[in-house]
Amino acid sequence: MTDSATESRGRSLADVEHGLGMPLQDAMSTQRAIRRLLPDPVDDAIVLRCIELALKAPTGSNGQNWEFVIVKDREVKERLAKRNSQIWALYGRIGRLLARGDEGAQRIMQAVQWQADNFADIPTLVVGCLRGNRVPMVLYPSMQNLLLAARAMGLGGTLITMPLWSTASARSILGLPFTVQPCCIAALGWPRGRYGPTTRKPVGEVVHLDRHGHQPWRP
Amino acid sequence: MTDSATESRGRSLADVEHGLGMPLQDAMSTQRAIRRLLPDPVDDAIVLRCIELALKAPTGSNGQNWEFVIVKDREVKERLAKRNSQIWALYGRIGRLLARGDEGAQRIMQAVQWQADNFADIPTLVVGCLRGNRVPMVLYPSMQNLLLAARAMGLGGTLITMPLWSTASARSILGLPFTVQPCCIAALGWPRGRYGPTTRKPVGEVVHLDRHGHQPWRP
C-alpha cells in the first residue's frame, strides 16, 4: 500500500474536486484499470460528481435514457460477487491457459482474480443501465467520462460486465424493471496501487488510410 | 458560420495542441455532438493526435485489438454516404414522426439530415474497428477519448454507426479482412457552430441507491 493510498481514506469531495481541473491529456494518458482497491468507503458526493460528468457525454439522439444504480449495501454486493465468481470460474481457466508465457497478461489475470476474491469489499459499484431497447454501446462514452473523472480525483476504477452475465439475475438483485437493462459496472474505490503512464502501440501501427492495409504512418 | 469557425481553417497541430491542456471537467461539460462541419481539410497530425489519446483508454484485458481507418478519399466517403442515406431514409421517417411536437428532437433530426445530405463533404472520418470476436463495446471508451480530444482542440465531431449498417458492405468499401469488424465512425471537421455547455437532467433524477426505485438524491 502506498502513502498516497493511505492518505486518500476519508477524503471528501472538497479535498479532491480540484483534480477535475487536471489537463485533459494528462487524465487520459495516466488512466489505467485499477482493480486492487481499499475497502474504505468513498464519499457519496464524489461518486455523484463522477456520475454528473458521465451525464455530459453525448447519447444517440440525446436520448439521456440512462440510469445509474450505486451499490454500497454489502448484501447486494455479495450477490453480484457470486455471479461474478460463477463466470470467472469459467473465463479464468481459459484466460490462464491463454496467458501462459505472457507476463503482462498474467499480471492482469492476477488482478482480475484479486478483484473476484475481494468483490464484496469494493466500496462502490456504479451499475450503468439503459431504459428501453437501446444498444448498450450508447452508455460506454458516459462510463468513460465517469472513469476519467474518478481518475482525476484519485479514485481507482475499472469497467466490468462479468457480474451481469445473467441479465435476469442482475435485474432481480438490483430490482430493475423489465424496461431497464443493466449494461456494465464501474467498480470504484481508493487505489492500493498508483496511477501512471501506460504503454501503448505506436499510433502509426494501428492506423490505416482510406483502405485497410494502407499504413502511411507505420513506424 | 462563426468567426471562430472561419479562423480554424488551415490550422496545424501546433496551433491547436495547447487545447489538450483544457481542464478535464471543462472538456466534458462543453462536449456536444457537432454535425454541421466545414468541408475544409483537417491536418492529419491533429487526427493522429486524437487517435493517440484514444489508444490510452483501457481495453478489456488490455487487448488493444483495435484498428482505425482514417477516410479522406472522396470516393470512399461517397460510398459510405450512400449506405448512410439508405438507412436514414428509413430511420429518418420514423424519427420525424416521433419528433413531432418536440423542438429539441426536431433540431437533432435536422442536423442528422444535414449530415446525411453533406456526408461526402465531411473532411475526415475515423472508422473504429476491432480485430477478432470482441464485443464492439470495448471500442467506445476509446472513441470517447478521441471525441474529447477533438473537442479540446476545437474540432467538431459526432459518433455515428448508420453508414456501417451492412457490415459486408462496409468491409468491402474499406477493404477490411474478415477478422476485422467495423464498429463505429467518428465524423470530424472544423465546426460551423460552437461548442458550449449542454443541458442535462439533474444527477439525482437518474441515480438509485442499492435498488432501483430508491432515489435518496432525487431533487
Note the pLDDT tens digit of each residue in A70-115: 999 999 999 999 999 999 999 888 888 888 888 888 888 999 999 9
Structural domain contains residue B211: no
Structural domain contains residue B214: no
CATH code, domain carrying B198: 3.40.109.10
Structural domain contains residue A215: no
Question: Which one, of B140, B150, B193, lies nearest residue B22 by Cα?
Answer: B150
Structural domain contains residue A130: yes
Phi, psi of B76 (to 5 degrees): -65, -40
CA end-to-end distance (rounded Å), chain B: 39
From the list B29, B203, B213, the residue facing A48 with the nearest CB is B203
* pLDDT (0 to 100) of residue A3: 41
In total, how many domains does chain A have?
Answer: 1
Residues of chain B with Cβ-Cβ distance to A94 below 8 Å are none
Structural domain contains residue A218: no
Q: CA A192 to CA A154: how far, in whole Å?
A: 11
Structural domain contains residue A18: yes
Tell me whether residues A73 and B210 touch, CB distance under 8 A. Answer: yes
From the list A53, A108, A129, the residue facing B28 with the nearest CB is A53
* pLDDT (0 to 100) of residue B2: 41
Residue A2 has pLDDT above 90, yes or no: no
Q: B69: which strand partners?
A: A208, B127
Residue A136 has pLDDT above 80, yes or no: no
Between helix A74-98 and helix A103-117 the angle, nearest 10°, is 160
Instruction: Give the domain extent around B31.
Output: 3-206
Structural domain contains residue B219: no
> Which of A142-151, B22-31, B60-69, B210-219 is predicted with the least confidence, judged by mean pLDDT?
B60-69
Structural domain contains residue B215: no
Average pLDDT rounded to a whole number, residues A19-28: 97
Residue B197's closest chain A neighbor by CA? A56
Span B179-208, pLDDT tens digits: 999 999 999 999 997 777 778 889 999 999
Q: B65: which strand partners?
A: none
Instruction: Give the alpha-carbon dihedral of B5, B6, B12, B14, to 10 degrees.
Output: -70
- State the DSSP string of A80-103: HHHHHHHHHHHHHHHHHHHTTT-H
ipTM field: 0.91
Tell me whether residues B184 and A70 touch, CB distance under 8 A. Answer: no
Tell me whether residues A58 and B21 touch, CB distance under 8 A. Answer: no
